[in-house]
Amino acid sequence: MSHTPDRTLTLRGACNVRDLGGYLNAAGAPIPWRHFLRADCLHQLEHGEAERMQFEGLRMVIDLRTAREVRDAPSRFEPLRGIDWVNLPLFDALSPAALAEVEVPDGHPLLTMYITAIETRGPAICTILTRLAQIEAGTVMFNCTAGKDRTGIIAALLLGLAGTAPADIIEDYTLTAAHIPDLVAGFLSRARANGGDVESYATLLESPSEAMAGMLAHIDGKYGSVMGYFDDIAVPNDVLARLQARLGLTG
């Protein structure tokens, strides 16, 4: 892939494809560009865009959506030979019952979702990180529908592993709002047509800094650090070492 340090990548048919490169890691060095990409839903990519990404170095795509979402809107990368596409849902078991089991401080509704994911989806997060670590060269992309919640959690954890400053992790999360207004408008239009609670739904389509700040504070308060959280969910040390190397940390 081009190593021009552009955080936002233009893919026709997607609107929220961004690079984690350029943020400073714990060593004070920039995370390498085109190692980790975060993205929204990739089922509407225009002809040739998936192949272009492959030509430019994309080697793996981890789709964080549910199996039903994938079935209803298949990724353009799924049938592409030469790219390791895998569906590893993050929120499959994030049920209303699970939401009720986790004590969350008052705040934005998304904070409840994020902390519940951290507390109940540890095995899924471990699996996702383990798969991300399998790529030693080239680019890996992870995506969901809007590239905001599921993708945002994984991006935040990777940046936390790199030792990136919390302010930069929060900024990376909030950048989504500027990229998805058309996507949000479409979601709300369909919800309105189906008689849904548009006001509540609109709140869940936001990207508020307090939601990500609250998630990071929860991790620090309960586990001491992102590394402490990874230890709690039993992410193997060799997986963390490989990911840290890809994030520009050595030794």
**What is the predicted pLDDT for the residue at 199?**
83
The yes-or-no verdict on residue 99 having pLDDT over 80 is no
The H or E element spanning position 8 is: strand 8-9
**147-161, 180-194, 211-225 — which is least confidently predicted?**
180-194
Q: Is 111 helix (H, G, I), strand (E, B) or coil?
A: helix
Region 134-138: what's the mean pLDDT?
92
CA 57 to chain centre: 20
Phi, psi of 139, deg, nearest 5: -110, 140
Q: What is the CATH number of domain 11-246?
A: 3.90.190.10
| CA–CA gap between residue 213 and residue 16 (Å, rounded) | 21
| Domain positions in the chain | 11-246
DSSP assignment letter at 250: -
**What is the predicted pLDDT for the residue at 194?**
85
Per-residue tokens: 85: 């596409």
Instruction: Kindly report, residue by residue over 38-75, the tens digit of the pLDDT.
Output: 999 999 999 999 999 999 999 999 999 999 999 999 99
